[in-house]
Structure 1
Amino acid sequence: MAMKFDPFRELDRVAGALLDPRQRLRLMPIDLYREGDHYIMNADLPGIDPGSVDVDVDGQLLTIRAERTIQAPEGATWLTRERESGSFLRQLNLGQGIDIDGISAKYENGVLSVFIPVSERAKPRKIEVSAPSTGGGNIIQGESTSAPASSSAGTGSGSGTSGSSGTSQGFSEGAGI
């Protein structure tokens, strides 16, 4: 089995272990991709009480907060305790081409899915060009029609993306931890 070593993640893990693990905020791993006219973000939050999950948007900043509490039996002697409890936080900066009012989320089987629609004005469209059929000069008339766009824009964790129309529609990682 091939494993990918990330020295920065390992450094973060070691630094976090040196600090009090109950006092720091934890990151949640995410996947972010575009499917048609929506971005879909999946965040791993296993063992989280769905009532503690909070998703909100302030301007162009999407914030996800969650809390995990692990109930320990009274008088238990721990042999190993690797499952972390505490607060989780993730912030993403939304691009200008996002329909903020249409954002929705669901939590199922330990995964939070956030559906982020692309705004109508940011969707690619076809411009029809027509010319007058009678010899009445050099006037060109145009009409805009909507057409589905094929997206070839890739996304990466913490990197911005742009749609095929060239408008900035993507996300960038927030520094609010």
Structure 2
Amino acid sequence: MSTDITQATEKTVTDAPETTGGGRIYRPLTDIIETDQGVSMMLEMPGVGPDHVDITLENRVLTIRGRVEPMQPENLQLSYAEYGEGDFERAFMLSEDFDPDRIEAEMHGGVLTVTLPRAAESQPKRIAVKGA
């Protein structure tokens, strides 16, 4: 089985594009699971709610963006931080094997799962062998 998804762009906090809000953009860690039926992608996006995820598919490029609402406790001043807040963005180039009308996504506990079903014509076919 070969992977039908390639990374279209690489974004890290150091080479991320400028944003209108001046914040950081992170490249979410992603696990990809491939089966005969399609591909599932799990992207870690802590702090992103389902209402702040934007997924687009254009010219076979699947772009996933997540916006984080900054968390600033009231009446407290930050004296030290190890966790950097920022938005998430990652893009993947898809092969023509996927059905764009059946792509689904759901968010649970900071993990976005995107399901990319294969098109019917690209599904593996089993050929029965008859005995003589």
Q: What TM-score results when the alignment is normalised by the length of structure 2? A: 0.74
Q: For residues 93 and 68 of structure 2, what CA distance do their matches in structure 1 show? A: 25
Alignment of 1:152-167 (within 5 A): none
Q: Contact conserved, 1:53 with 1:65, CA < 8 A, in 2?
A: yes
Q: For residues 57 and 25 of structure 1, what CA distance do their matches in structure 2 show? A: 20
Residue 111 of structure 1: how far off its partner (Å) = 0.6
Indicate the residue corresponding to 1:76 in structure 2: 76
Decide which structure has greater strand share.
2
Indicate the residue corresponding to 2:28 in structure 1: 28
Indicate the residue corresponding to 2:124 in structure 1: 124
Q: Secondary structure at the match of 2:32?
A: strand
Which piece of structure 1 moves more, 33-42 or 101-110? 33-42
Alignment of 1:34-53 (within 5 A): 34-53=34-53
Q: For residues 85 and 67 of structure 1, what CA distance do their matches in structure 2 show? A: 10
Q: Secondary structure at the match of 1:71?
A: coil
Q: Secondary structure at the match of 1:51?
A: helix
Alignment of 1:1-177 (within 5 A): 15=14, 22-127=22-127
Q: Can you list the C-alpha shifts for 1:107-131, whole angstroms capped at 9, x where unaligned?
A: 011110000001111112145689x
Q: For residue 107 of structure 1, what is the amino acid of its counterpart?
A: M
Q: For residue 109 of structure 2, what is the amino acid of its counterpart?
A: N
Q: For residue 98 of structure 2, what is the amino acid of its counterpart?
A: I
Residue 24 of structure 1: how far off its partner (Å) = 3.5
Residue 33 of structure 1: how far off its partner (Å) = 1.0
Runs of 4+ with deviation above 4 angstroms: 127-130
Decide which structure has greater helix share.
1
Q: Can you list the C-alpha shifts for 1:59-110, whole angstroms capped at 9, x where unaligned?
A: 3111111111222135533221222223210100111111111100000111
Q: For residues 37 and 59 of structure 1, what CA distance do their matches in structure 2 show? A: 22
Of structures 1 and 2, the one scoring higher in RCO (CA 8 A, sep 6+) is 2
Q: For residues 111 and 38 of structure 1, what CA distance do their matches in structure 2 show? A: 19
Identity of aligned residues (%): 27
Structure 2: tracts of 5 or more residues without a match: 1-11, 16-21
Q: For residues 51 and 58 of structure 1, what CA distance do their matches in structure 2 show? A: 21
